[in-house]
């Protein structure tokens, strides 16, 4: 089977400071990959690398299976760059359709229909006329998700989509993403702090860590891996997990 994205021996760095090294993984159409790891382990940097916003200092990202950049959706990590930007929610959501336009950027009926459907899917039709900068962080996040859905056809990348959301909205967000993945066969790459939900929903896990340890594999494999058993604190008593626990206890003894 052709892979949608292959990450080939990638090293990324800022001004010579390596963030992660020799990263290798491969995902296929319909996969749901969660990228987990501590703050500063390079999750957002990896996203930027995949999206071509930052080039790798070594290695390469290879898109396959006929994937075009214009079929990608992206939900950036909330950064507050657009904090005082005057724009209506409708203008923002609709702009997700622009990557389908070759040169001119006029919206047609279909664009408006798709934008509206996505707003309904996320449950934000009532925000249509509101000013984006006057919304709460969680509402802004949902507007940006609607925009991402407008541009995504085959692959969607989400950087910490549930940060700042209330529990109801969080559950809703996970359900929307799950449906997208299962019903629309959309490939999902999501950065998350919420490791429990990651394990619940994802098919694959990529674990980055500041120390440089990396895990990539299926969720099942992850649960019984060294990094996984350490981060999940679960009560699995299989041989592998017991071995990891013993090792960890020995290491942390003074």
Ligand X SMILES: Nc1ncnc2c1ncn2[C@@H]1O[C@H](COP(=O)(O)OP(=O)(O)O)[C@@H](O)[C@H]1O
CA 161 – CA 193 distance, rounded (Å)? 10
Beta strands in the chain (DSSP E): 3-14, 17-28, 32-36, 58-63, 72-75, 155-159, 187-191, 204-208, 214-218
**Min. distance of Cβ 99 from another protein in angstroms?**
4
**Min. distance of Cβ 104 from another protein in angstroms?**
6
- Taking Cα atoms as reference points, which of 113, 219, 139, 123 lies closest to residue 176? 123
> Looking at beta carbons only, is 44 or 181 nearer to ligand X?
44
CA 87 – CA 253 distance, rounded (Å)? 56
User: Which range in 43-51, 67-75, 179-187, 204-212 contacts Mg ion by CB under 5 A?
Assistant: 43-51
Residue bearing tokens 């090792």: 247
Site for ligand X in 18-77 (CB under 6 A): 19, 37, 39-45
**Min. distance of Cβ 72 from another protein in angstroms?**
6
> Looking at beta carbons only, is 44 or 78 nearer to ligand X?
44
> Looking at beta carbons only, is 43 or 207 nearer to ligand X?
43
Q: Which does 42 bind (CB under 5 to 8 A by kind): ligand X, another protein, Mg ion, none?
A: ligand X
**Min. distance of Cβ 45 from Mg ion in angstroms?**
8
Q: Contacting Mg ion (CB under 5 A), which of 34, 35, 37, 44? A: 44
- Taking Cα atoms as reference points, which of 69, 77, 80, 82 lies closest to residue 191? 77
129 and 88 Cβ atoms separated by less than 8 Å: yes
**Min. distance of Cβ 74 from another protein in angstroms?**
4
CA 116 – CA 90 distance, rounded (Å)? 9
Q: How far is CA 155 from CA 27, 46, 118, 177, in A?
A: 11, 15, 16, 12
Query: Which stretches of the chain bind another protein, using CB under 8 A?
Result: 48, 51-53, 68-70, 72-74, 76, 81-82, 84-88, 91-92, 94-96, 98-99, 101, 104-107, 131, 134, 147, 151, 157
Give me the residues that bind Mg ion (CB under 5 A), please: 44, 77
């Amino acid at each position: 089977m052709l892979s949608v994205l292959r990450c080939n021996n990638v090293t990324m760095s800022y001004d010579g400071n390596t963030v992660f090294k020799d990263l290798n993984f491969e995902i296929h159409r319909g996969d749901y990959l969660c990228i987990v790891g501590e703050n500063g382990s390079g999750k957002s940097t990896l996203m930027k690398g995949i999206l071509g916003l930052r080039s790798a200092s070594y290695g390469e990202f290879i898109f396959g299976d006929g994937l075009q950049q214009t079929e990608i959706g992206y939900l950036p990590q909330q950064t507050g760059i657009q904090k005082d930007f005057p724009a209506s929610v409708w203008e923002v959501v609709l702009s997700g359709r622009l990557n389908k336009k070759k040169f001119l950027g006029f919206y047609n009926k279909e664009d408006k229909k798709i934008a509206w459907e996505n707003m309904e899917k996320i449950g934000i039709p009532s925000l249509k006329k509101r000013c984006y900068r006057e919304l709460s962080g969680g509402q802004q996040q949902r507007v940006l998700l609607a925009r991402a859905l407008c541009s995504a056809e085959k692959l969607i990348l989400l950087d910490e989509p549930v940060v700042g959301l209330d529990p109801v909205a969080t559950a809703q967000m996970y359900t929307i993403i799950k449906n997208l993945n299962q019903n629309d066969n959309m490939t999902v790459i999501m950065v998350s702090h919420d490791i429990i939900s990651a394990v619940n929903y994802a098919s694959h896990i990529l674990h980055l860590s500041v120390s440089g340890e990396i895990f990539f594999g299926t969720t099942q494999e992850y649960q019984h891996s060294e990094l996984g058993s350490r981060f999940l604190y679960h009560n699995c008593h299989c041989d592998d997990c017991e071995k990891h626990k013993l090792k960890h206890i020995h290491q942390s003894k003074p």
